[in-house]
Chains A and B, each alone.
Chain A
């Protein structure tokens, strides 16, 4: 993956003379101190972020934490006070108006919270909007708009007015308008926050579906941590204009790092977030025989693997114990469940049958670990994962 967007030491001060505020921030003062001393609002305080091509980067935080300011600095709807916004390695902060317009017309497009459609124009004209600004001939932009409307599932609605559409459909139009320009970077500022919960879920699924084929680089602003977990390949968490945590969804829930972040993660449904790889126990070789390698842990099942790491069969705890003692393993059974390392624990739990072993098998068909009901339970309940891990070692 290449780095599409790189934000370096970005500051935004809402003032015509940001100098003194920047100096205070450089000396380590925070947003509230600057406001008390200078009466100046700090929007962003030294934010650095790298967005790889194809990422869905979620910017999360409480209201007023500077998420929108950050997003708007990326396409310079807000002028950054200091710092760099590198688009494919080229800083777009110092470029002139004409060049900036070109960037906005071809590289970065935006989806708005309240859709921001033109009420006096039909859906198709709204979708064509960006292309029209760019001067694309009428026939060509009509063709493109119809194409994009089909992609978002609104092929039949092109010649209606926005007020005839439901909220979810209007935001599809907003999305279509952003996609029509073929910009490879999408900024979505609370794009689904104004929608009803059900429609919202639907739109999230739709975005994930589109993203599988489009591979846009998406900067998605939200105050909803669930949404961030569901959509994000990475999440950045903001507070008081600063970036306080940045990582993959799983890693943030596992190690919040601060009370501010932990507060978001507390209510999270871990069974839908954590995957089998995270909960599994790695395979520990017990013995090598003519048949293959036997792996497993005391008290658990043993898996017999061939030379390529593929599962040949399962032995129960008794067989494993006998094998350790140097005795006969007995017959191998084929009665086990296999799951992929990326399977969420909720799916693993669905496949769980009492007494049946679970094998975690990677894409190449190799056995990489096993997990039991206790592992799943431990993971989905955990608020302090380290302690659980430790306990398991004690057991083992």
Chain B
């Protein structure tokens, strides 16, 4: 019988190897230009997260979470952080948080303007959309290949992977949010003589904010997943705990990493999801009963979302 192995094999690996070497050599300034700001901000964030003392951090996180979402979610966040500390992976969790927070900053700074640009020009959107499709259907695992080839291994290349993987949802939702603004309201803006800038800042962006925050939620979760996956290319953090546990067949250690990851993912998801929920009336009434919010945190606003986070976190391992 004629077997697949009998076919002459194209030396694709060699071609790519050479191509990438050429790219790395000739476009070095370009890649450095990408890497430098990421490296700097990551270094700063990492330093801050590790420098702040544990109790202060928990209290600060509690207050911020309360401000951004609800008291119930803030309480849940604080408790989760304490549990993570008691699991003995506080430092790793802080590294993961710095990876995620850095990614959020870059995704917002790059993703939102790109999203706006896409919303205002069909031509741009037609170009960007297939790229986003490819980026979002590529398994996070495969992401690592080009990153390693172009940026090498370690925490900073890992962060590059996190940023590139987490940006697409924000771009998509920003574009969607702006395009979804009621036509009549946009026309009201035009009819009263708004120019393009006024239209954007007075009407389109403000009305797109709930959708953009929904995209931010997706971006945070993607960043969470990727920040774990990039342990495979040598990035530090909770992912590394799991990876090392598995490598040494230390199931207990791996599980500890896993639990911490799930808790962190839930905290970030609940806080950002709550931000995306539009509040109509004043905030005090919204805060409602503590118990109800706690229940909601566990059940989740969107029932399958928690499951999804968990499965994605697992899948990431």
Chain A positions within 8 Å of B, measured between CB atoms, are 75, 77, 97, 101-106, 108-110, 112-114, 116-120, 129-130, 132-134, 161, 163, 177, 181, 187
Contact = CB atoms under 8 A, between A and B. Distances in A.
Interface stretch (B13-21, B41-49, B195-203): B195-203
A104 B193 contact: yes
27 contacts: A75-B191, A77-B190, A101-B193, A101-B195, A104-B192, A104-B193, A105-B192, A105-B193, A109-B192, A110-B188, A112-B184, A112-B187, A116-B182, A116-B187, A117-B188, A118-B202, A118-B203, A118-B206, A120-B206, A120-B207, A130-B192, A130-B193, A132-B202, A133-B193, A134-B193, A177-B192, A187-B191
A163 B280 contact: yes
B184 A181 contact: no
Nearest to B194: A133
B205 to A, nearest CB: 10
A179 to B, nearest CB: 12
Contacts, number: 62
Contact of A114 (B184, B189, B198, B206): B184
A217 B188 CA distance: 19
Nearest to A98: B195
Given A113-B184, A120-B207, A133 B190 contact: no
B192 to A, nearest CB: 4
B60 interface: no
A77 B187 contact: yes
| B185, B188, B192 interface centre (most CB from chain A within 10 Å) | B192
Interface in B206-227: 206-207
A117 B206 CA distance: 13
A103 B191 CA distance: 10
Given A132-B202, A133-B198, A133-B202, A116 B193 contact: no
Contacts of A133: 189, 192-194, 198, 202
B184 A118 contact: no
A225 B191 CA distance: 26
Nearest to B210: A120
A238 to B, nearest CB: 20
A260 to B, nearest CB: 29
A116 B188 contact: yes
Interface-centre pick from A113, A116, A119, A187 (highest chain B CB count, 10 A):
A116
A112 B188 contact: yes
Nearest to B203: A118
Nearest to B199: A133
Contact of B191 (A77, A117, A120): A77
Contacts of B190: 77, 104
Nearest to B206: A120
Nearest to B190: A77
Interface in B247-266: none
B202 A109 contact: no
A106 B207 CA distance: 25
Contacts of A97: 195
B202 A116 contact: no
Which one of B188, B189, B195, B203 has the greatest number of beta carbons of chain A within 10 Å?
Answer: B188
Nearest to A183: B192
Contacts of A177: 192
Contacts of B193: 101-106, 130, 133-134
Q: Which 9 A-B pairs have the closest CB atoms?
A: A105-B193, A104-B193, A116-B188, A110-B191, A130-B192, A116-B184, A101-B193, A116-B185, A120-B206
